[in-house]
Copies of this chain bind each other. A is one copy, B any other.
Amino acid sequence: MPKVGMEPIRRQQLINATLESVAEVGLHATTINSISKRAGLSSGIISHYFGGKQGLIEATVRFLLNNLKTSLISKTQQPCSAEERLMFIVEANFSVIQQQTSSTKTWLSFWAQSMHDEQLHRLQTVNAKRLYSNLAFSFKTLMPENDAKRAAKLAAGMIDGLWLRAVLSKATEQEFKQAEQLAKHYVSSLISSCGA
């Protein structure tokens, strides 16, 4: 079985298995065994590639954050108006779910854990600030700076809040779509209320 160049493959397998396990049984009940069994690998391999359970958890969060980041970057690659950009931001933050229900529960678990884990909290802070500054950047092209900062705070709160309530209520895909629409419409209203 030992083939050369297995590392990136195994790392991804284990990260995927972690997402599955956390989604199915929760971060609390996720063990080295529940992960390695899902990946079809032995338990020892986790320490070998990630230094331990904690390292794998953190790598999994980084994977989720990176997905969100690149999802937004790819959408805003081509030139677009500030309003379009704002809509892309909303879409990116909601799309985390549609593609994979497993990510959703995982995200929530990690948020909670970040209150007691410095590493995770650092990652969470970067993510929260990115949403805010992405929004603020686009709003600034449409209104005075102070208004833009305020709009970004409100929009970020609305996006996270509607997302959270949808997740916690175990909403259907249709209800998620509705939440996304509400968020988009709210961002639009923020533009028109302060726009030239």
Q: Give the contacting residue for A108; candidates B112, B125, B179; CB below 8 A.
A: B112
Given contacts A154-B182, A158-B158, contact A112 B115 (CB under 8 A): no
Q: Is A67 an interface residue (CB 8 A)?
A: no
Q: Is A105 an interface residue (CB 8 A)?
A: yes
Contact B116 A28 (CB under 8 A): yes
Q: Give the shortest distance, in Å, between A64 (CB) and chain B (any CB).
A: 15
Q: Give the shortest distance, in Å, between A33 (CB) and chain B (any CB).
A: 17
Q: Which one of A3-11, A41-49, A76-84, A161-169 is at the interface?
A: A161-169
Within 8 A of B (CB), among A155-193: 156-165, 167-170, 179, 182-183, 186
Q: Give the contacting residue for A162; candidates B25, B108, B111, B157; CB below 8 A.
A: B157
In the bound complex, residues from chain B placing their C-beta under 8 Å from that of A182 are: 150, 153-154, 157
Instruction: Point out which of A157, A169, A179 has the most chain B C-beta atoms below 10 A from its C-beta.
Output: A157
Copies in the complex: 2
Nearest residue in B to A153 (C-beta to C-beta)?
B182
A contact residues, range:
35 or more
Q: Is A73 an interface residue (CB 8 A)?
A: no
In the bound complex, residues from chain B placing their C-beta under 8 Å from that of A25 are: 116
Contact A105 B116 (CB under 8 A): yes
Q: Give the contacting residue for A113; candidates B26, B150, B169; CB below 8 A.
A: B26
Q: Is A71 an interface residue (CB 8 A)?
A: no
| Interchain CA distance A156-B186 in the complex, whole Å | 13
In the bound complex, residues from chain B placing their C-beta under 8 Å from that of A34 are: none
Interface 1/0 per residue, A110-138 and B, CB below 8 Å: 01111111000100110010000000000
Q: Is A29 an interface residue (CB 8 A)?
A: yes
Q: Is A109 an interface residue (CB 8 A)?
A: yes
Interface 1/0 per residue, A49-73 and B, CB below 8 Å: 0000000000000000000000000
